[in-house]
Chain A
């Protein structure tokens, strides 16, 4: 897919002469670093993504979902990677993937809205910041590495700040995502008019914009698109990619497998699309919070606290490792008796990875990205 700069919408305005705008002027000097932040909206289950199969309490707590990661790559004595993540497993083997476990932002309640606001804004309380950590990071980067873009219809909070950033979204009416459709199905269940109308509408709907849909190919398309926007000499250097559908309250096994397959293909396509530039790329995959240790009554998991973050790329400090100050899954080890206890701040994981990637002073990065920490 070839995208001209013309098709990129900069804060809602079509850029006809992007080269003339500050921040878009490309300086040839230095090795251009690239950063991709993939947000998993909806609270992705870290305990199924990177499963602590070596924890003695794991199988009993996860009951029917305990074998969700059967057949997945063994990461070390404790952790098994979800079997959908095959390309990611390959990256782990070649020391280009790192998983930080039992991490969480400073947020301790369980609202998606508030949790995402803190993950993106980087404040110490919900709605405490009106700029985002990526937006603030841009002020630390050389002009040539500041071009930032989000694959989204509007600039997400994470990218907001003093540096102007762009957005790109396919122009057609986007189809409603699978998760929204499922929620509306529940909402209309008792409605005599809407229930049959919706049923028939859903049957004819193709779930094309969901990353898990189309056997993961939607994720691959998104990764290809992201790479095509970042690869050109005057392309974006910093990108945010939105993914949704992680809120697996029911039927987690199949849904999460599809979601992770989409994510895996997204990562694979990004790596393939960037080619040698992958070596200078850092991909951060993070979610607002995790999910309960115990499985609920509908084959899913409910809102929890700590989860897993992924770091991917060619120049990681600790590639091929899972880092965790593992708290254990026994009832007394859990946060509020139900969730994986956070033992490390997600903020410090992100700031540390970014500082290493750009060779910046870690203290300065932390103070800029998370000024309230």
Chain B
């Protein structure tokens, strides 16, 4: 059994291993969790116990249904536009058209709302909160953003089918699954990127009728800058352009815009990622000093394999992981150790996690981490036996109100993983208000005095315990537990 060591952090605040295991590594103690006897062993065992397909996500719609819903919305919208034009709409028809548009949009937005609710259900229910946190971490590392209408419906499917199955595998497999998912291809415009010398572009150019379709570098750049090497990691504009060329041919059946759609094989299922050779830039390419002469789809796969194990990638990933489990400025010793592990194993993620758990730094840092709205809400709901939210609560809207819309960070960079990102004054008041509302629902169905030592474990200070015990009602006690300094942090 690991010795319990207490670390004095901020004044009046004691960091402790039970608490760190539950909140920093996990998603907060569940009300019915057994005591964590050996925190490190508890975390390591979760790596083996991880279930990539939890019950909560089982009933969600597949890619084809999601893509079809979006395609239907698109065609309805076009029809409405035509109608509006023909009728030379009067002003008072505007509202009606708006309503119809909203209804059509609701069809494919439903998939987003359902997936967001399922994500929360899975996080609240899970018995392997450490891997579940890693799902959220990687999902944010390989961020898509539901600002784009084409992406909205796919957002949940992306996490569940590209991220979840690979968080306990090799980084390269995770990278490939993320990049090849339709949500990523649509989000970063790959579905509209064509090889300048592809058969398709050449034919269009030879006919001389219009400007030939061309390259879009968005995905190639973000893979290098955000997913693998990291910004200013030594790659050049030529590397980005060549990588973009290597990626051409990848598109999404039934959804990509423009002429490329006509080149889809007849058996292509709407919403599936597909490689269309006639859109691919032919010929060998040099990227980061290495020649890639593989034919067709194999070329980009080879580049991705190399990027996934590049030393710059190892350091970039190690830094982000270390930050997530320590502080804004992660200790160099931890970053070095994780980088070395990544390089040695070729990006074996379970090995990386084990090294992280075994490292002293995540267990020794002062309480510098501030829970994101997601983390905080999940940990709150896990602590309660009685559901804290109503059946009809709009989950997606709630997280938008709390300042962290689900799968909508607004940029491919994802949400920043820093204290300042989440620790704002209005944000704090919003949390207190939500805690009050939930506490109001719970009332005396939970006893905060009994819950506090369970949930905060060895980080429960006498001051917090006393403040909770002195609350003027059971509900106020619960609100104070959830608003306590230790519960707000991780």
- The chain A residues found within 8 Å of chain B, CB to CB, are 12, 41-43, 111-113, 116-117, 152-154, 156-157, 169, 173-177, 179-181, 183-184, 186-188, 190-194, 196-202, 204-205, 244-247
Pairwise interchain contact A190-B12, C-beta atoms closer than 8 A:
yes
Give which listed residue, B10, B469, B472, contacts A191 with CB less than 8 A: B10
Smallest CB-CB A-B distances: 6 pairs: A42-B472, A201-B425, A247-B472, A201-B429, A153-B440, A200-B425
In whole angstroms, how far apart are the Cα atoms of A117 and B443 in the complex? Answer: 11
B side interface size, CB within 8 A: 44
In whole angstroms, how far apart are the Cα atoms of A239 and B442 in the complex? Answer: 20
Pairwise interchain contact A174-B437, C-beta atoms closer than 8 A:
yes
Pairwise interchain contact A112-B471, C-beta atoms closer than 8 A:
yes
Chain A residues with CB under 8 A of B10? 191-193
Interface window among B175-183, B375-383, B476-484: B476-484
In chain A, what residue has the closest Cβ to B368?
A: A193
Give which listed residue, A42, A180, A246, contacts B479 with CB less than 8 A: A180
Chain A residues with CB under 8 A of B416? none
Q: Which of B439-466 contact A (CB under 8 A)?
A: 440-444, 447, 449, 463-464
In chain B, what residue has the closest Cβ to A191?
A: B485
Closest Cβ–Cβ distance, residue B267 to chain A (whole Å): 48
Q: A153-B437, A187-B467, A191-B13 are in contact. Are A176 and B432 (CB under 8 A)?
A: yes
Instruction: Tell me if B15 is interfacial: C-beta within 8 Å of chain A.
Output: no
Chain A residues with CB under 8 A of B485? 187-188, 191, 194
Closest Cβ–Cβ distance, residue A134 to chain B (whole Å): 15
In whole angstroms, how far apart are the Cα atoms of A204 and B432 in the complex? Answer: 14
Pairwise interchain contact A154-B443, C-beta atoms closer than 8 A:
yes
Pairwise interchain contact B479-A194, C-beta atoms closer than 8 A:
no
Closest Cβ–Cβ distance, residue B485 to chain A (whole Å): 5
Pairwise interchain contact A183-B419, C-beta atoms closer than 8 A:
no
In whole angstroms, how far apart are the Cα atoms of A184 and B484 in the complex? Answer: 8
In whole angstroms, how far apart are the Cα atoms of A111 and B464 in the complex? Answer: 16
In whole angstroms, how far apart are the Cα atoms of A200 and B425 in the complex? Answer: 6
Closest Cβ–Cβ distance, residue B445 to chain A (whole Å): 8
Pairwise interchain contact B472-A187, C-beta atoms closer than 8 A:
no
Q: A192-B10, A198-B425, A245-B472 are in contact. Are A156 and B488 (CB under 8 A)?
A: no
Pairwise interchain contact A179-B476, C-beta atoms closer than 8 A:
yes
In chain A, what residue has the closest Cβ to B489?
A: A193
Pairwise interchain contact B473-A154, C-beta atoms closer than 8 A:
no
Pull 21 A–B residue pairs with CB atoms less than 8 Å apart, ordered by A. A41-B473, A113-B447, A113-B471, A117-B444, A117-B474, A153-B440, A153-B441, A154-B442, A177-B436, A179-B476, A190-B11, A191-B11, A191-B485, A196-B425, A197-B423, A197-B425, A201-B429, A202-B429, A204-B426, A244-B476, A247-B470
Chain A residues with CB under 8 A of B470? 112, 183, 247
Give which listed residue, B425, B447, B483, contacts A184 with CB less than 8 A: B483
Q: Which of B386-417 contact A (CB under 8 A)?
A: 390-391, 401
Closest Cβ–Cβ distance, residue B53 to chain A (whole Å): 31
In chain A, what residue has the closest Cβ to B474?
A: A113
Pairwise interchain contact A183-B444, C-beta atoms closer than 8 A:
no
Pairwise interchain contact A152-B440, C-beta atoms closer than 8 A:
yes
Chain B residues with CB under 8 A of A153? 437, 440-441
In whole angstroms, how far apart are the Cα atoms of A183 and B419 in the complex? Answer: 24
Chain B residues with CB under 8 A of A184? 432, 480, 483
**With A169-B440, A174-B433 given, can you name 10 additional A-B contacts, CB distance below 8 Å?**
A42-B473, A113-B477, A153-B440, A174-B440, A176-B432, A181-B432, A183-B470, A187-B483, A191-B10, A245-B472
In chain B, what residue has the closest Cβ to A39?
A: B473
User: Which residue, of A152, A188, A194, has the highest number of chain B Cβ atoms within 10 A?
Assistant: A194
Closest Cβ–Cβ distance, residue A226 to chain B (whole Å): 17
Give which listed residue, A113, A190, A197, A200, contacts B473 with CB less than 8 A: A113
Chain B residues with CB under 8 A of A199? 425
Instruction: Tell me if B59 is interfacial: C-beta within 8 Å of chain A.
Output: no
In whole angstroms, how far apart are the Cα atoms of A111 and B479 in the complex? Answer: 17
Instruction: Tell me if B424 is interfacial: C-beta within 8 Å of chain A.
Output: yes
Chain B residues with CB under 8 A of A41? 472-473
Pairwise interchain contact B473-A205, C-beta atoms closer than 8 A:
no
Pairwise interchain contact A176-B429, C-beta atoms closer than 8 A:
yes
Closest Cβ–Cβ distance, residue A155 to chain B (whole Å): 8
Chain A residues with CB under 8 A of B391? 12
Instruction: Tell me if B428 is interfacial: C-beta within 8 Å of chain A.
Output: yes
In chain B, what residue has the closest Cβ to A195?
A: B485
In whole angstroms, how far apart are the Cα atoms of A187 and B119 in the complex? Answer: 32
Chain B residues with CB under 8 A of A12? 390-391
Closest Cβ–Cβ distance, residue A201 to chain B (whole Å): 4
Closest Cβ–Cβ distance, residue A199 to chain B (whole Å): 8
Chain A residues with CB under 8 A of B11? 190-192
Instruction: Tell me if B370 is interfacial: C-beta within 8 Å of chain A.
Output: yes
Instruction: Tell me if B434 is interfacial: C-beta within 8 Å of chain A.
Output: yes
Pairwise interchain contact B472-A112, C-beta atoms closer than 8 A:
yes
Pairwise interchain contact A156-B443, C-beta atoms closer than 8 A:
yes
Chain A residues with CB under 8 A of B429? 176, 201-202, 204-205
Chain B residues with CB under 8 A of A43? 472
In whole angstroms, how far apart are the Cα atoms of A314 and B372 in the complex? Answer: 54
In whole angstroms, how far apart are the Cα atoms of A153 and B474 in the complex? Answer: 14
User: Which residue, of A42, A184, A186, has the highest number of chain B Cβ atoms within 10 A?
Assistant: A184
Pairwise interchain contact A173-B437, C-beta atoms closer than 8 A:
yes
Q: What 0/1 pattern do residues 53 to 83 of B give for CB contact below 8 A with A?
A: 0000000000000000000000000000000
Pairwise interchain contact A111-B469, C-beta atoms closer than 8 A:
yes
Closest Cβ–Cβ distance, residue B98 to chain A (whole Å): 24
In chain B, what residue has the closest Cβ to A40?
A: B472
Closest Cβ–Cβ distance, residue A307 to chain B (whole Å): 14
Q: A201-B425, A247-B472 are in contact. Are A116 and B444 (CB under 8 A)?
A: yes
Give which listed residue, A113, A176, A183, A198, contacts B467 with CB less than 8 A: A183
In chain B, what residue has the closest Cβ to A169?
A: B440
Pairwise interchain contact B480-A112, C-beta atoms closer than 8 A:
no
Chain B residues with CB under 8 A of A194? 423, 428, 485, 488
In whole angstroms, how far apart are the Cα atoms of A41 and B447 in the complex? Answer: 16
Closest Cβ–Cβ distance, residue B428 to chain A (whole Å): 5
Chain B residues with CB under 8 A of A113? 444, 447, 449, 471, 473-474, 477
Chain B residues with CB under 8 A of A246? 472
In whole angstroms, how far apart are the Cα atoms of A71 and B469 in the complex? Answer: 36
Q: Which of B200-239 contact A (CB under 8 A)?
A: none
Closest Cβ–Cβ distance, residue A276 to chain B (whole Å): 34
Chain B residues with CB under 8 A of A205? 429
In whole angstroms, how far apart are the Cα atoms of A180 and B481 in the complex? Answer: 12
Closest Cβ–Cβ distance, residue A212 to chain B (whole Å): 13
Closest Cβ–Cβ distance, residue B248 to chain A (whole Å): 48
Chain B residues with CB under 8 A of A175? 433, 436
In whole angstroms, how far apart are the Cα atoms of A194 and B483 in the complex? Answer: 10
Pairwise interchain contact A197-B471, C-beta atoms closer than 8 A:
no
Q: A174-B437, A204-B426 are in contact. Are A157 and B483 (CB under 8 A)?
A: no
In chain B, what residue has the closest Cβ to A121?
A: B444
Q: Which of B110-169 contact A (CB under 8 A)?
A: none
In whole angstroms, how far apart are the Cα atoms of A41 and B476 in the complex? Answer: 10
Chain B residues with CB under 8 A of A186? 467
Chain B residues with CB under 8 A of A157? 443-444
Chain B residues with CB under 8 A of A177? 436
Closest Cβ–Cβ distance, residue B430 to chain A (whole Å): 8
Chain A residues with CB under 8 A of B425? 196-201, 204
In whole angstroms, how far apart are the Cα atoms of A166 and B449 in the complex? Answer: 28
Chain B residues with CB under 8 A of A247? 470, 472
Pairwise interchain contact A197-B424, C-beta atoms closer than 8 A:
yes
Q: A12-B390, A173-B433 are in contact. Are A154 and B441 (CB under 8 A)?
A: yes
